[in-house]
Copies of this chain bind each other. A is one copy, B any other.
Amino acid sequence: MVLKLYLDMLSQPGRALYIFLKVTKTPFEACAVSLLKGEHLSKKYEQECSKFKKLPVIHHDDFRLTESVGILRYIAREFPIEDHWYPKNSQKQALVDEYLEWHHSNIRQTCLDFFRNQWIIPLRTGKEPSAEESARHKKNMLRSLKDFERLFLSDMPFIHGNEISFSDLQAACEIEQPRFAGYDPRRDFPKIKVWIENVRQECNPYYDEAHQYLYDEAEKRITQ
């Protein structure tokens, strides 16, 4: 069965899945779809790729699946993935699930809102965001990052201990995203700084490859 991953490296969960498939040596075909060009909103994409009109999505022969966390679980069942990424032990798996579910309404929501307000909307409208809106989004994001440090990071290298899991990858790819808008969480959160470097090292060269566009954009914002 052929596995195809439709993604844009601009998208956090798309990068997480790309890195995961590469680092676990899972055979797949990457299919680029441009979010900025709105290719995911076309009738063609809806009919041929995903009724959700979202990314990332996989096709596993005739089976179509959206939502990165659901995709991760499906891949962990269908392919020979090393156990630490998504453990088969019931309690260990439950703790990875606990992070992945918490992620949506916390790190995902607040970092995405900040990024959208500071980067996507100005790019589309040509207008700078209002100071009030920027401050509100930044405050929410900082609260989430603080909760993330308190609840999930310790003196262990990764969220769930000595070995990396999909929780780390999903979180790291999201926490990189605010750099598009010139804010690097490493600056204010020392535990995040150490942990995100652990994730990067564990997943290179694919981590840097997937983040190259983001690194270039972050560089522009800092030198401007």
Q: Which residues of A contact B (CB under 8 A)?
A: 51-52, 63, 65-71, 73-74, 77-78, 90-91, 93-95, 97-98, 100-102, 104-105, 108-109, 151
Among B68, B71, B101, contact of A69 (Cβ-Cβ < 8 Å): B101
Instruction: Kindly list chain B residues whose C-beta atoms are within 8 Å of the C-beta of A65.
Output: 94-95, 98
B102 engages A77 (CB within 8 Å): no
Q: In whole angstroms, what is the CA distance A63 to B92 when docked?
A: 11
A74 engages B90 (CB within 8 Å): yes
B151 engages A102 (CB within 8 Å): no
Among B67, B91, B102, B105, contact of A98 (Cβ-Cβ < 8 Å): B67
B91 engages A63 (CB within 8 Å): yes
A109 engages B101 (CB within 8 Å): no
Among B66, B73, B100, B109, contact of A102 (Cβ-Cβ < 8 Å): B66
Among B77, B78, B97, B105, contact of A74 (Cβ-Cβ < 8 Å): B97
Instruction: Kindly list chain B residues whose C-beta atoms are within 8 Å of the C-beta of A97.
Output: 67, 69-70, 73-74
Instruction: Kindly list chain B residues whose C-beta atoms are within 8 Å of the C-beta of A108.
Output: 105
CB-nearest residue of chain B relative to A150?
A: B51
Which of A70, A94, A105: most chain B Cβ within 10 A? A94
Q: In whole angstroms, what is the CA distance A70 to B101 when docked?
A: 7
Among B66, B67, B100, B109, contact of A109 (Cβ-Cβ < 8 Å): B109
> Chain B's nearest CB lies how many Å from the CB of A178?
18
Closest 10 CB pairs of A and B: A70-B97, A104-B104, A67-B101, A74-B94, A70-B98, A69-B101, A77-B90, A67-B98, A70-B101, A65-B94
